[in-house]
Structure 1
Amino acid sequence: MSGLPLDTPAPAPAEAAPRRRFGAGRALRDGALVPAVSIATVLAVLALWALATEAGWVKPLFLPPPGAILSAFAQAWNGDLDGAPLGMHVRDSLLRVVGAFLIAAAAGIPAGLAMGTSRIARGLLDPLIEFYRPLPPLAYLPLMIIWFGIGELSKVLLIVLACFAPVALATRSGVLSASGDQINAARALGASRWQVLRYVVLPAALPEILIGLRIGMGVGWTTLVAAEMVAAQAGLGQLVLNASNFLRTDVVVMGILVIGLFAALFEFGMRWLERRLVPWKGKV
């Protein structure tokens, strides 16, 4: 009779261990490679920026040197530009963006769940969202001013509308991606409609919901400048717009960098939250 004797030990476990260790080491190397490449890219861009400005390849009116940006930051921090310190501009902008984002999330997630689970809700909400979603915020900014005035309400509502659409549509997409077999199995075990939504549909839609929140936060930051165009006493967008009127390119670049910094911090925070809430994403 051909084949291995019964008392011959199987070599599979001994061979599988090095293979697993190799896979873990490769994952660690890949995880360390991405931040290293990102840091190297940022340093290369900064070096090219300094070289181009110091060598006179680009006029300061179009791209100020890094030293001018630091000087503008110090002026803004002390309130020497428009009488308001940079901390006040940051505070007002954060209150507008974060407040509008929370309102959009609180309304967009239930709306997306309703569109994903109910044909009636989808028929009611989907045409409205798809109609205004491609419109730039500046297109309906005059209506916000006519309807709600030039106060904080119109600014916050403008950012809410910009954030609402991606959150709602991403939530609807996540609900529709839930496995029908899992839903039918839960119903067969006697789960109610709420239990199916809570324990089956919502966990399956959570990765898409988090992506929609990330996109919504990014759209909120891009809408901030448009929202602060109208009678804003303080804010990063208002600071940038006022500086552009006086051709203070150094202040404009400084404001853009500050906005980008806070937007990146929120993005990294959302990525961390995604790793904590949906650790199985990309692994199953």
Structure 2
Amino acid sequence: MLVLGLYVAAFFGTYLVSSRLLKSFFEREGFNSLKTVTFGDESAVKANRVASVISVITVFWLWVAFTNSVIPLPKLPGPFSGDVTFTYTAQLEDGTTDDAEVTMRVYREDIQQTVDADGNPGQEPEPAAVEPGDGFAKNDSLTVARYGFKVINVWKNDEVSKKEGSTVVALNGIPVGPGEAVEIPEGTISLTDKGTPTFAPATGLRMARLYLPAPEIVLSRFIWLNQEGYQGYTLLEHTRFSLQRVLLGFLFGALVGIPIGYAMGLTSWSRGWFDPIVEFMRPIPPLALIPLIIIWFGIGELGKVVLLFLAALWIMIIAARSGVSGVAISKVHAAYSLGASKWQILSRVIVPNSLPDIFTGARVAMGVCWGTVVAAELVAANVGLGKMIVTASKFQQTDIIIVGIIVIGIIGFMIEVGMRALENWLIPWKGKV
């Protein structure tokens, strides 16, 4: 909810600035700027590229703000690091009490993954030096990683053990019982259900590297994946295999689906023959077919291409059928009145007017195929972006997972932009006739 709130605030804040203070700078020139009424007119609504840039920057800033990144951007409150001391009160069976201090040294959770100037790995810090103190309860000193949790056996060096009747009855002077906690600025001290003290450092609003690594860590992993590879393949090779599967599956789906869609839109027999099959298969998610595809075709390339073929097929059939059905009958009558043959009607009227719907279906089919191939690789593959992600998840390598997600998103975006450009180039008459 906090992320959503910050994103919404950034959206409205930048909108107000751009629309009020910089309105004249951002105004587009051209025919649409001369329209007196544009609200509700889709042709007058074009993407504001400045808003797109700000949106991407906002998402990047939120990423930085919620991590322990070194990038100099405003960040949310971070986790506590350093030394913190709190007291516990031990009580004996005869009612005698004694106070002792516990000093916790909180260190960076990734310190063992760092190296010094000589290339030596970082070492977990030593506990702070403390005097044991007087009384039967002795002072303790321990270490704990940020975002970590430590169970503190305070009786380890006490003169009276827990088995001998010593119990903790207060933390920082506040009476507590088993299962209760005391909040301090540096974290949370509490008692377990069996009465043993614990300490959890304050995490702030940032996330640990395990859950969300910083952008610079993801970038370094991206470079490493291209140089060293993962599971025997570089990132480029993982990407190439995934793209190859998508393009083959989509191509075969379009080659089969478009003619069937045209047939369904032009003849009642074809509509009656294919309609039950198409409407039955269309709602079935492609991923539901994975077990059957594996049984029939195995986990090799053929099975994945067949799965992607089925993912694209029904979409292309419906798009082609919709395109034919959407051709204005007045255009067909006009062509007949001029002496056009059925082949001329098909090639000069129906195909040109149905291409916009077919391209819309192709964009949807490519998106579905791209999402399906990644999911299919999660289940059955030896190489591919999906395989890389699922393998990394087993070893909690979140940075590799995020690299894979970013690559998938960028390629999906490029596919969509490329399909739009191809549509504008091949169908310049869209929306004009």
TM-score category (smaller protein): 0.7 to 0.9
Cα 1:39–1:32 shift into 2, 3 Å: farther
Instruction: Provide the residue aligned with 2:356 in structure 1.
Output: 207
Which letter does structure 2 place at the counterpart of 1:221?
W
Does structure 2 conserve the Cα–Cα contact (< 8 Å) formed by 1:129 and 1:165?
Answer: yes
Instruction: Provide the residue aligned with 1:49 in structure 2.
Output: 63
Instruction: Provide the residue aligned with 1:13 in structure 2.
Output: none
**Structure 1: distance between partners of 2:56 and 2:270:** 46
Q: Tell me if 1:23 matches 2:38.
A: no
Q: What 5-or-longer segments of structure 1 have no aligned partner?
A: 1-20
Q: What 5-or-longer segments of structure 2 have no aligned partner?
A: 1-28, 36-43, 69-75, 79-205
State the TM-score, normalized to the length of structure 1. 0.86
Instruction: Provide the residue aligned with 1:279 in structure 2.
Output: 428
**Structure 2: distance between partners of 1:31 and 1:231:** 43
Does structure 2 conserve the Cα–Cα contact (< 8 Å) formed by 1:159 and 1:227?
Answer: no
> Aligned runs of 1:1-284 on 2, under 5 Å?
23=31, 34-54=48-68, 55=76, 56=78, 57-284=206-433
**Structure 1: distance between partners of 2:311 and 2:428:** 29
Does structure 1 conserve the Cα–Cα contact (< 8 Å) formed by 2:64 and 2:215?
Answer: yes
**Structure 2: distance between partners of 1:63 and 1:200:** 54
Query: Partner of 1:50: helix, strand, or coil?
Result: helix
**Structure 1: distance between partners of 2:235 and 2:225:** 5
Does structure 1 conserve the Cα–Cα contact (< 8 Å) formed by 2:320 and 2:358?
Answer: yes
State the TM-score, normalized to the length of structure 2. 0.57
Q: CA RMSD in A?
A: 2.0
Which is strand-richer, 1 or 2?
Answer: 2
Does structure 2 conserve the Cα–Cα contact (< 8 Å) formed by 1:75 and 1:81?
Answer: no
**Structure 2: distance between partners of 1:68 and 1:37:** 27
Which letter does structure 1 place at the counterpart of 2:362?
L
Which letter does structure 1 place at the counterpart of 2:416?
E
Q: Deviations over 1:41-90 (max 9, x none)?
A: 01111011111112442232222211121122122112343221111111
Instruction: Provide the residue aligned with 1:3 in structure 2.
Output: none
Which letter does structure 2 place at the counterpart of 1:58?
M
Cα 1:277–1:26 shift into 2, 3 Å: farther
**Structure 2: distance between partners of 1:254 and 1:78:** 14
**Structure 2: distance between partners of 1:98 and 1:137:** 16
Query: Partner of 1:58: helix, strand, or coil?
Result: coil
Does structure 2 conserve the Cα–Cα contact (< 8 Å) formed by 1:156 and 1:227?
Answer: no
Cα 1:141–1:51 shift into 2, 3 Å: same
**Structure 1: distance between partners of 2:396 and 2:430:** 47
Which is helix-richer, 1 or 2?
Answer: 1
Alpha-carbon shift at residue 26 of structure 1 (Å):
5.6
Alpha-carbon shift at residue 102 of structure 1 (Å):
0.9
Instruction: Provide the residue aligned with 2:163 in structure 1.
Output: none
Q: Deviations over 1:213-245 (max 9, x none)?
A: 000000001101232234422111111111112
**Structure 1: distance between partners of 2:217 and 2:231:** 18
Does structure 2 conserve the Cα–Cα contact (< 8 Å) formed by 1:104 and 1:160?
Answer: yes
Cα 1:33–1:238 shift into 2, 3 Å: closer
Cα 1:229–1:48 shift into 2, 3 Å: closer
**Structure with more contact order per residue of length (Cα contacts < 8 Å, sep ≥ 6):** 1
**Structure 1: distance between partners of 2:277 and 2:228:** 43
State how many pairs are aligned. Answer: 262
Higher-Rg structure is 2
Does structure 1 conserve the Cα–Cα contact (< 8 Å) formed by 2:261 and 2:321?
Answer: yes
Cα 1:53–1:268 shift into 2, 3 Å: same
Residue identity over aligned pairs, in percent, reads 45
